[in-house]
Amino acid sequence: MNEHPNVARVRSAYEAVERGDMETFAAALDDDIVWHESMPGFEGDYQGRDAALGLLGQVFETTGMELHDITIDHILADDTHAAVLLETTVSLGGQRQTSRYVDVYRLRNGKAIEHWHLPVDPRAEAALFGA
């Protein structure tokens, strides 16, 4: 069975983030993406690519968080959706933590038009961000 092309597109976007290549990551987002964020202190719906990228920049700038690693466990994708099972390791306030997430995307023409960021352990996420 062949891998759906959206699996490679989504994986490439995560690899770009890990390399710090935000230009490539931004190209994977539709201009009109709706980004639903659940991260404590940043919860909300962000409309458009610029707002989504601004959110990500704000998270790192405001919190001082450092990203050390993204490990993708699995990507499930078809023509209109993708789900990414992943693990990230970050440092924040002198604390290093590895957390598991499910990121869900709605896709159109190979670009993300909607995103949901879902921690597997919301309590650990809240503790990390002091919520």
d(CA 72, CA 1) in angstroms, rounded, equals 20
CA distance 49 to 65: 21
In Å, what is the CA distance from 33 to each residue of 36, 59, 113, 114? 10, 18, 4, 5
103 touches 81 (CB < 8 A): no
Cα separation values, 36 from 30, 48, 69, 117, Å: 14, 11, 22, 7
* 3.90.550.10, 3.10.180.10, 3.40.50.300, 3.10.450.50: CATH of 5-128: 3.10.450.50
Show pLDDT as tens, one digit a residue, over the chain (131 residues).
Answer: 689 999 999 999 999 999 999 999 999 999 999 999 999 999 999 999 999 999 999 999 999 999 999 999 999 999 999 999 999 999 988 889 999 999 999 999 999 999 999 999 999 888 888 76
